[in-house]
């Protein structure tokens, strides 16, 4: 997060959070929990994230930072050839996708931001309705450029904090518009189905006259 100033960080997340009930920010990082929480708490934005998926990290009684692997590669290796032994981000994305489906939110879209080679695996597991935002001229961008057709998700690159904010907010507005259109189409279709079911009914009783 060195490329985002503290002031920009706070204002950057404000349009994405709080009011939209459909917006849920989660961190998937090969850093460590102590490092990430320290930064988020310093910037005052930790509350904006519903989930932090990273390597456990803590300061020992001796004052040393201890970092453990997210996946215990000695007892239960993840078996992904694309990812480092300690973490497969692709498996984390699949778990998130499964949780959305189990909660009835399978129509939610995922916007995935990344720059490292470890972000390539999860990009391959995104769906057609999702969006991948790789950082230009970084490892994940180079891997994607070798064969962009391997990705089902739309690809929207960025290069710096300013472009990241611009692209991300555009995608959020796009998703909002798409969801509104889908909702309107559903309502319109539902009304048409109800109208057809009534007009096609030929056995309706005649209206009885009412004498004054």
Structure tokens at 44: 């005052």
- List, for residues 66-114, the tens digit of each pLDDT value: 999 999 988 889 999 999 999 999 999 999 999 999 988 888 899 999 9
* Domain presence at residue 19: yes
Q: How many domains does the chain have?
A: 1
* Domain presence at residue 31: yes
Q: Phi, psi (5° rounding) for residue 37?
A: -65, -35
In the structure, what pLDDT confidence band is assigned to residue 55 with cuts at 50, 70 and 90?
very high
Say which residues have a Cβ less than 8 Å from residue 42's Cβ, sequence separation at least 6.
6
Q: Taking the model in full, what pTM does it have?
A: 0.78
Return the pLDDT at 197. 38
Query: Is residue 112 within 8 Å of residue 126, measured between CB atoms?
Result: yes
* Domain presence at residue 193: no
* Domain presence at residue 194: no
Percentage, residues of the chain above pLDDT 90: 56
* Domain presence at residue 198: no
Query: Is residue 115 within 8 Å of residue 122, measured between CB atoms?
Result: no
Return the pLDDT at 177. 85
* Domain presence at residue 62: yes
Cα gap 184→189, rounded to integer Å: 8
Query: Is residue 139 within 8 Å of residue 117, measured between CB atoms?
Result: yes
Task: State yes or no: pLDDT of 148 exceeds 90.
Answer: yes
In the structure, what pLDDT confidence band is assigned to residue 165 with cuts at 50, 70 and 90?
confident
CATH at 143: 3.40.50.1100
Structure tokens at 43: 């910037």
Return the pLDDT at 211. 43
* Domain presence at residue 112: yes
Q: Are strands 131-134 and 154-155 parallel, antiparallel or unpaired?
A: parallel
Full residue range of the structural domain in which residue 52 is found: 6-178
* Domain presence at residue 206: no
């Amino acid at each position: 997060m060195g490329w985002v100033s503290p002031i920009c960080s706070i204002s950057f997340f404000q349009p994405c959070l709080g009011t939209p009930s459909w917006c849920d920010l989660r961190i998937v990082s090969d850093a460590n929990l102590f490092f990430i929480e320290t930064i988020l708490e310093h910037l005052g934005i930790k509350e904006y994230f519903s989930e932090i998926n990273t390597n456990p990290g803590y300061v020992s009684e001796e004052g040393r930072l201890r970092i453990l692997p997210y996946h215990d590669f000695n007892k239960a290796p993840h078996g992904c050839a694309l990812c480092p032994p300690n973490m497969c981000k692709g498996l984390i994305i699949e778990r998130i996708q499964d949780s959305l489906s189990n909660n009835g939110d399978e129509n939610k879209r995922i916007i995935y931001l990344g720059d490292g080679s470890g972000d390539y695996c999860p990009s391959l597991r995104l769906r057609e309705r999702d969006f991948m935002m790789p950082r230009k001229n970084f490892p994940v961008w180079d891997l994607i450029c070798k064969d962009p057709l391997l990705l089902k998700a739309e690809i929207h690159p960025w290069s710096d904090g300013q472009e990241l904010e611009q692209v991300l907010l555009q995608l959020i507005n796009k998703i909002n518009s798409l969801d509104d259109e889908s909702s309107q189409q559903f309502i319109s279709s539902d009304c048409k189905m109800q109208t057809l079911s009534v007009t096609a009914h030929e056995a309706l009783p005649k209206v009885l006259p009412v004498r004054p």
